Structure 1
Amino acid sequence: MRATTSSRTEPFTQLAGYNRLALLTFKLGEGVRFGINILKTREVLRLPQLERMPGMHPLVAGGCDYRGEEIAVIDLAKAMAYPALAGDPSAHLMVTEFNRGRQGFIIGQPDRIIHCRGTELTQPSGILTYNGRVNALTHVDDHLIAIIDVEQILASIEPATEEIPYSIPAPAPGGASTVKPCVLVVDDSAVARRQITRLLDQLNLDYVTANDGALALSLLQERVLQSMPEHGPAGFDLVISDIEMPQMDGYTLSRRIRESQVLRGLPILLHSSISGVFNDQLAASAGADRFLAKFAPGELSQTIQEMLAARTGSRGMAAA
């Protein structure tokens, strides 16, 4: 199984924005099949020879040359508590592009590509999360498909910095107003929610979290009748949303907010581990104000401050 990036992913970009996604499925051991969004993959090929250096993380099987670039290769079976696949005759290398970087994962024999609606994805109970490394489940032909939270695995190997760079000044507590702006954070990954909320703490901002788009929309609709003139619609000044989520993706959430007479003025930042030009285009077509690839705390901090400043300015002009 081998394909270039463009030939593999181009047909599936048409699903994005319609609360649907395509999953590449594969096995890591007996029983459960696993999946990953096809838009995160670049190529799947036979596992090449790996070079392992002293001091590497236990989940890193080694490094390899991928088209002139040295990438780390993670044994995904080992990360999911199965026997390691490195050295197994069925082992393949899945190269992914994730969180502004490229990495390899060892998987077993690739299975197939399946299409899913967001409403067909459910969040697993604690007993089925593989220690937090699965963030959604679905069923296809009576088989359970567990969708891997790659962010959690990568964070366990090399935690991302959550500190704002000194070159990006955080606003003084309270700022010019005694009322702190409030941000709605929507993401199905516990790692991503923690990263964003820690940054919001550093910026001295209030926030509420939701772990999928459907819950976020329900929360907004419940709060629209509350009178909070110091904030925006439903008591929020900004929505930061992931794109790939169970039940309702970020594009659909953005579209539903823009369709609401009451909520349509709410600023929306789509914040996703899936990077690419098509995301900017789809974000705009769904009504989002900005798109930003995860996770760069300085850039995210600056974007949040710019969007809140624009929001405050527009409220001031409206009041005048």
Structure 2
Amino acid sequence: MSNILESVNKRTQLVGQNRLELLLFKLNGRQRFGINVFKVKEVLQCPPLTSLPRLNSNVRGIAHVRGMTISVIDLSAATGGRPIENIENCFIIISEYNRSVQGFLVSSVERIINMNWEAIMPPPQGAGRGSYLTAVTEIENELVEILDVEKILDEISPVNTNISKELDDKLTIDRDLHHHIMVIDDSSVARKQIIRALSSLDLQIDTAKDGKEALDKLRLMAAELEDVSTEIPLIISDIEMPEMDGYTLTAEIRDDPKLRNIKVVLHTSLSGVFNQAMVEKVGANDFIAKFNPDELAAAVNKHLSL
């Protein structure tokens, strides 16, 4: 376990190379699951949990870890499986998503593996836990499932997707133009959250589930247009996505004369100083941590009002 914790702290060098590292774990049974190491703050033997009234049924309790009080979510129960038993012999993966820290209760933690995003594929129809999968990959001839954590968290504690009236009154975007933008995210829940947050801006919104699908759509448009930004002036893209991540997508856009004028806002649950460096390296116009509807709407307003 100490080796895993040491590895968790040394992974920023892979960002921007269309690579990631997955922490492998199991819930109930033999099925392996993975979580991106960049989301992981710590892995611990499950500490004593305190039950509180009116907790969501998938929250096993509250843990006190290094001065923080965090909710511990049973990942098996949250994805429709049976609750994990004998939790004193289990582990919690402490992670940060969408500006909040939570613990995920898992039965066991295995190791970290280095992967290329091209080897991370969208889930097949009808696979495993169905709507709770955001991607799959194959390791040692076994299917590894990558869960849609944003969907799980939204079911337990839905995020606010409404922009404030104070901000709405200050927006300068010309809503009569019905600007055409593209939203790219492998989580269907995240795509819907963005669309709801921007609904009052009267935009035309196309979507794509990963960087490769988005780039294919943009290049198809480029076959008809000299400058695709005249049709789609702005894209909002997640960073972590199967097949092609957001950094690689941005670099591809900047390398294509017909696409390079498109504004790119990277919108991600990843956090850290290294993100800002990568924003500049690949040529993105903005970086926003998920999920704050006012910050998202303000960024869209800024880039479409120029």
TM tier, smaller: over 0.9
Task: Map Cα deviations across residues 236-278 of structure 1 (whole Å, 9 max, x no partner).
Answer: 0101000000010000000000000111111100000111111
Where does structure 1 differ by over 2 angstroms across 4 or more consecutive aligned residues? 2-5, 7-11, 80-83, 86-90, 170-176, 225-229
> Structure 1 residues 127-136 or 139-148, which shifts more?
127-136
Matched, 1:34 2:30: no
Counterparts in 2 of 1:127 and 1:173: CA distance versus 1, 3 Å: farther
1:195-206 paired onto structure 2 within 5 Å: 195-206=193-204
Q: Counterpart in 2 of 1:259?
A: 255
CA distance in 1, matches of 2:247, 2:89: 37
CA distance in 1, matches of 2:297, 2:257: 29
| Residue ranges of structure 1 left out of the alignment (5+ in a row) | 311-320
Q: Counterpart in 2 of 1:307?
A: 303
CA distance in 2, matches of 1:251, 1:86: 40
CA distance in 2, matches of 1:234, 1:308: 12
Matched, 1:291 2:287: yes
Task: Map Cα deviations across residues 185-228 of structure 1 (whole Å, 9 max, x no partner).
Answer: 01000010001111222211111000010000000000024359
| Residue ranges of structure 2 left out of the alignment (5+ in a row) | none
Aligned partner letter, 1:272 = T
Task: Tell me the SS of whatever aligns to 1:128.
Answer: coil
Counterparts in 2 of 1:165 and 1:172: CA distance versus 1, 3 Å: closer
Aligned partner letter, 1:199 = A
1:1-320 paired onto structure 2 within 5 Å: 1-2=1-2, 7-128=6-127, 130-169=129-168, 175=174, 178-227=176-225, 233=229, 235-310=231-306
Asked whether the equivalents of residues 171 and 298 of structure 2 are also in contact (C-alpha less than 8 Å), the reply is no
Asked whether the equivalents of residues 187 and 211 of structure 1 are also in contact (C-alpha less than 8 Å), the reply is yes
Asked whether the equivalents of residues 186 and 240 of structure 1 are also in contact (C-alpha less than 8 Å), the reply is yes
Aligned partner letter, 2:287 = F
Shift of 1:124: 0.9
Task: Tell me the SS of whatever aligns to 1:254.
Answer: helix
Task: Tell me the SS of whatever aligns to 2:21.
Answer: strand
> Structure 1 residues 275-284 or 18-27, which shifts more?
275-284
Task: Tell me the SS of whatever aligns to 1:132.
Answer: helix
CA distance in 1, matches of 2:131, 2:270: 20
CA distance in 2, matches of 1:98, 1:150: 8
Task: Map Cα deviations across residues 268-300 of structure 1 (whole Å, 9 max, x no partner).
Answer: 000001111111111211111111100100111
Shift of 1:3: 7.2
RMSD: 2.1
Q: Identity, % of aligned pairs?
A: 37
CA distance in 1, matches of 2:226, 2:294: 30
CA distance in 1, matches of 2:244, 2:180: 22
Asked whether the equivalents of residues 173 and 304 of structure 2 are also in contact (C-alpha less than 8 Å), the reply is no
Q: TM-score, normalised by structure 1?
A: 0.90
Shift of 1:174: 8.2
Q: TM-score, normalised by structure 2?
A: 0.94
